[in-house]
Structure 1
Amino acid sequence: MIAAEEQVRRAALPLRGEGDLDPLLERVGEARFVLLGEASHGTHEFYAWRAAITRRLVLEKGFSLVTVEGDWPDCHRVNCSVTGAPGAPEDPAEVLAGFGRWPTWMWANTDVVELTRWLRSHNDTLPADARVGFHGLDVYSLMDSLRSVVAYLREHEPGHVDAALEALRCFEPHGEDVQRYAEATRLAPSSCEGPVVELLARLRSGTDGTGHERDARFDAEQNALVAAGAEAYYRAVVRGGAQAWNVRDRHMADTLDRLVAHRGPGAKAVVWEHNTHIGDARFTDMARDGMVNVGQLVRERHGEDDVVLVGFGSHGGTVVAARAWDGPSQVLPLPPAHPGSVEDLLHHSGIDPAALFVFPTAGELPRWLTGIREHRAVGVVYQPELDPTHNYVPTVLGRRYDAFCWFDRTRALTPLHGEPPAAGPGHGEDDTWPWGQ
């Protein structure tokens, strides 16, 4: 019987430059969805290699959408910049530096600047209707999204402005603090669900239009969907259990489907999210707790032949995170992985410091890919001293992902700004899921 370490050594492929991604591109083939994970939200290597994969998918496979675990309104402003929309900043770094909702470093960092500048340069060579978009899938931006809908309706459909203002006014008694609002709904039966759903219905009753008008309406409708999803999410958070997670991940999967449908036939999407979102939940202990995630939903909706899930991991190094909610970003140590974990196995297998694994699509998987091992997951809140007991997800690696990128030692990414700016209206909507993933 071949030992697990030897099985790892036989499967490991070198990962030293973008040319070493050829086996992964072959695995992608004609798939329309490639989901790229990360084991933390603050690791340079994860961002840099996701960017390398994304560039090759755009250039060689015709991918037309880059979608991320970010807020819709903020990422829409990035999209306007990278696609050269009239009036948008030419340099996406200008937009990214303005990201104000904590944790800002997730997208306001030098690695994302490099990717978005590349997208802008690439898009400048393409006709407007063929440019690669950059979009946020997440659900948190309730108040920002409502204000965006009001602005759209005032300009395009003034007859529906009252419905949008009614939805906004519903949150005023809570000081636009959506967490305080959610706590109040637990104590009283009234909620703002009705006004938000009514607003969405009014937007959906309109016509799509064409060209820029069609895109503007899509943006407004998506903001209304975010508001509806966020209202449901925050109410679910205060009730506890898996429902809040499921509301959020279903919203992200639905948004991905809407973007692909809006883009039209032949659209292909790259997704950047944490491993806990893109690695199929059915092959972790999340399933036992009644949780679904984006990777599972996309596989179920589009079939495994059309979807490639790529996980990421590392053994030690440094990472950007915060020790508490709304705390300042810090460079924190990433201690050596827990004994018996996926990361511990790879570290002790004697493979290259960076390696690529593309899992077999036919035949029997080797045992190291079918057994259950703990797999590290670091959120935006991280306390290294608690790492062995708080940051691992039991995982069947060869079914949770289709491929895996390994970096034995990683370093913290570089944020565009350190301390988050002072919160203004609409920026009190923190990532409230306990793990921050």
Structure 2
Amino acid sequence: MYGDEAAALAAPLTGPDDLDVLLDRARDARVVLLGEASHGTHEFYAWRAAITRRLVEELGFSFVAVEGDWPDCARVDRAVRPGGGDPREALREFIRWPTWMWANEEVADFCRWLRAHNAAAAAPVGFHGLDVYSLWDSLREILVHLREHDPDQVPAALAAYRCFEPYGEDPQEYAWATRLVPQTCEDEVVTLLARLRGTGLTPWQNAEVVAGAERYYRAMVRGRPESWNVRDRHMDDTLDRLLTHYGPGAKAVVWAHNTHVGDSAATDMARHGEVNLGRLARERWGPGAVLLVGFGSHAGAVVAGSGWGEPMRVMPVPPARPGSLEDVLHAAAPPQALYVFPRTGRPALLTDELGHRAIGVVYRPERDAHANYVPTVLGERYDAFLWFDRSRAVRPLHTHGVDALAPETYPSGV
């Protein structure tokens, strides 16, 4: 049953011109969220870039927002604007593990294209980070900005910085300390945020990151649902601030993992009390103004680590679990295919719940058959889906390990 439906709905995907039907669906969208089934697959990055190029060139999208840290992405944003440096070098400055997530040749190629586009554009297209992890980097950015532009506010920033200082830039240590002792840095952070709210986008957003990170680290020791929701609500609020900053008529492209992009209400996340960026975007702007695009593959290769902070390596992705979405598409779909889901008259492939693979930055191929699958109602989780039967690994800019770590996320760093 599913196989016939998968074959009937599929459109072969051989080049950017095959994206016309997806672009037609995106014409009324204010936000297009483009997913990925892993953080280390070439096809997902390359085709997100191809879609984004057309959204920028043909539909006038205003900026790209990614599942990355604000300060790191701010360097890339400066590099893609007229007079900026080499975006590839800006991406090489991503030193927090997992570096390959954004410091890879696929993103570098897109950012060099974006820099060339912006050189001739009336309004440059930006590149921004949505995530919550850069507490200490954002604090330092705030201090540098205030010392130059608003010295009277420096004491508030120093109070927040000194509150966190005893934890040695270790978020895990701060998180556990707040659980063991009823003492936090929340008051200092709230004061700083109140003083910077409504100022220029960069200092304000760095203050929002500090506030979001402080909440996230406190929630982290209390368990998955609360910390997950803090993180995705922060990304949703950041996206809204960016759209406001870019002005009336602004439109955004988001790059993030399927677990953030696909509507959580169509997965088992809802049963655990979790929301995500895709669900929040539909609630904030309405389903008609939001386009959610998922990605998936059957087998191939991926860049990941075997444990948190472990060296990155190219790993095999074994054939998908029998009965999963990927298994169905492997049997019936073209090697590369685009699915743009009909709004009515949906077949069972789009309305039944099937397992849908999700690979994080930590991956153990030998466990794939027993893990890594999210129960999903495909036609409710996404509006469209890109399929690749065999995948290749991304090409990292860094070929060595780094010591800087982000706090571990679950499931396996998505």
TM-score range, shorter chain: over 0.9
Superposed CA RMSD: 1.0
Q: Which residue identity does 2:307 align to in structure 1? A: A
Contact 2:224-2:410 at 8 Å conserved across structures: no
Task: Name the structure 2 match of 1:25.
Answer: 23
Q: Which residue of 2 aligns with 1:358?
A: 340
Deviation at 1:419, TM superposition (A): 2.3
Q: Deviations over 1:276-306 (max 9, x none)?
A: 0000000000000000000000001101110
> Is the Cα contact below 8 Å between 2:97 and 2:403 reproduced in 1?
no
Please name the residue that 1:156 is paired with. 149
Give the residue type in structure 1 aligned to 2:196.
L
Deviation digits for residues 63-113 of structure 1 (CA, Å, limit 9, x no counterpart): 01100000000001100110135xx42x10011011111100000000000
Choose the corresponding residue for 1:112, options 107, 115, 139.
Answer: 107
Q: CA deviation at 1:313?
A: 0.2
What is the alpha-carbon distance in structure 2 between the residues aligned to residue 202 and residue 29 of structure 1? 39
SS in 1 for 2:120: coil
State how 1:22-421 maps to structure 2 within 5 Å. Answer: 22-84=20-82, 88-89=84-85, 91-127=86-122, 130-204=123-197, 208=199, 217-349=200-332, 351-361=333-343, 363-421=344-402
On the 8 A contact 1:140/1:431 being kept in 2, the answer is no
CA distance in 2, matches of 1:341, 1:352: 17
Aligned counterparts of 2:277 and 2:403: Cα–Cα separation in 1: 32
Q: Distance in 1 between matches of 2:215 and 2:397?
A: 32
Q: Is the 8 A contact 2:358 2:374 kept in 1?
A: yes
Q: How far did 1:431 drift? A: 3.8
Deviation at 1:364, TM superposition (A): 2.1
Once residues 241 and 407 of structure 1 are traced to their aligned partners in structure 2, the CA distance between those partners, rounded to angstroms, is 31
Deviation at 1:4, TM superposition (A): 1.6
**Paired residue secondary structure (1:239):** coil
Indicate the residue corresponding to 1:212 in structure 2. Answer: none
Counterpart residue type for residue 329 of structure 1: M
**TM-score of the superposition, structure 1-length normalised?**
0.93
Q: Which amino acid aligns with 1:383?
A: R
**1:429 deviation in Å?**
3.3
1:176-201 C-alpha deviation (Å, 9 max, x unpaired): 21210110111010001111111111
- Secondary structure of 1:41's counterpart equals coil
Contact 1:310 1:405 in 2 (8 A): yes
Say which SS state the counterpart of residue 230 (structure 2) adopts.
Answer: helix
Q: For residues 31 and 82 of structure 2, what CA distance do their matches in structure 1 show? A: 25
Q: C-alpha distance in 1, partners of 2:411/2:17?
A: 38
One-letter amino acid of the counterpart of residue 355, structure 2: E
Mapped to 2, the partners of 1:421 and 1:347 lie a distance apart of 37
Amino acid at match of 1:115: F
User: Residue 113 of structure 1 aligns to which amino acid in structure 2?
Assistant: A
Per-residue Cα deviation, 1:206-240 (whole angstroms, up to 9, x for no partner): 6x4xxxxxxxx210110000000001101111111
The one-letter code of the counterpart of 2:204 is: E
Query: In the TM superposition, what whole-angstrom CA distance separates every residue of 1:332-369 from its partner, at most 9, and x where no partner exists?
Result: 010000001000000011x21000000002x2211111
- 1:335–1:239 distance in 2 versus 1, CA, 3 Å: same
Deviation of the 1:157 alpha carbon: 0.5
Q: Residue 155 of structure 1: CA displacement?
A: 0.5
Letter in 1 for 2:128: H
Deviations 1:121-164 (A, max 9, x none): 0000023xx10000000000000001101111001100010110
2:406 aligns with: 429
Q: Structure 1 residue 171: deviation in Å?
A: 1.2
Letter in 1 for 2:36: E
Alignment-mate amino acid for residue 148 of structure 1: E
Shift in Å, 1:173: 1.4
Give the match's secondary structure for 2:413. coil
| TM-superposition CA deviations, 1:12-71 (whole Å, max 9, x none) | 001000000001011112211100000000000000000000000000000011000000
2:372 & 2:262 partners in 1: Cα distance? 15
What is the TM-score with the length of structure 2 in the denominator?
0.98
Letter in 2 for 1:24: L
Distance in 1 of aligned mates of 2:167 and 2:145: 24
Task: Give the drift of 1:203.
Answer: 1.1
Name stretches of at least 5 consecutive residues in structure 2 with no aligned partner. none
Say which SS state the counterpart of residue 375 (structure 1) adopts: strand
Quote how far apart the aligned CAs of 1:434 are. Answer: 4.0
Structure 2 equivalent of residue 4 of structure 1: 2
- Local SS of the residue matching 1:340: coil
SS state at 2:293 partner: strand
Helix, strand or coil at the partner of 1:348: helix
Tell me the secondary structure at the aligned position of residue 406 of structure 1: strand
Query: Is 2:6 the partner of 1:13?
Result: no
CA distance in 1, matches of 2:309, 2:399: 12
